[in-house]
């Protein structure tokens, strides 16, 4: 089950939540079961405070994922900066909906065990993001 929360930002249009709900299909495709996923859309400053407090990082980021997985059941919190998503969509000439969907998929892939610490891992992650974006209706 997926739940949506908003911290220090206005709620996004419903199509963002609908797209995120569709994105959870990837969990099954990756061989896992869907547990409880909290998607927390928030401001840059809110996510920066989490980044500092929990990861000792003093910089803005677009998403932070916390896993609460139990064996094959995927559960966790996805904190997504709406400010970073908006900026990324403009830089990458993508729609805001596409970018928030990509970030949800990115977080879900982390929960499924994918990482993006190396160039090779990042390339695999981007390929998977594109695959699942296409699956839910983005080109």
Distance of CA 41 to the CA centre of its chain: 10
Torsion of CA 31, 37, 41, 44, to 10 degrees: -70
* pLDDT at residue 59 in the model: 84
Domains in the chain, please, with CATH? 2-135 (3.40.390.30)
- For every residue of 66-101, DSSP letters joined together read EE--BTTEEEEEEEEEHHHHHHHHHHTT--HHHHHH
Task: Give me the helix-helix angle, 82-91 and 96-111, nearest 10°.
Answer: 120
- The pTM is what? 0.94
Q: Consecutive 10-residue runs of the chain (139 residues): their mean pLDDT?
A: 95 93 93 97 97 89 96 97 97 94 97 96 96 89
CA 12 – CA 8 distance, rounded (Å) = 12
137 — alpha (psi -120 to 50), left (phi > 0) or beta? left
* pLDDT at residue 56 in the model: 87
Give the Å distances, CA to CA, from 82 to 2, 69, 138: 18, 25, 19
């Amino acid at each position: 089950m997926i739940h949506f929360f908003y911290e220090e930002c206005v709620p996004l249009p419903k199509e963002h939540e609908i797209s995120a709900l569709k994105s959870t299909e990837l969990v099954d495709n990756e061989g896992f079961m869907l547990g409880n996923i909290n998607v927390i859309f928030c401001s840059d400053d809110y996510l920066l405070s989490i980044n500092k407090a929990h990861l000792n990082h003093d910089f803005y980021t677009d998403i932070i994922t916390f896993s609460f997985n139990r064996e094959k059941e995927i559960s966790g919190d996805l904190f997504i900066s709406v400010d970073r998503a908006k900026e990324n969509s403009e830089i990458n000439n993508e729609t805001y909906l596409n970018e928030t969907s990509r970030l949800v998929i990115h977080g879900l892939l982390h929960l499924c065990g994918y990482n993006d610490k190396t160039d090779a891992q990042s390339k695999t992650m981007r390929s998977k993001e594109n695959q699942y974006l296409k699956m839910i209706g983005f080109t």
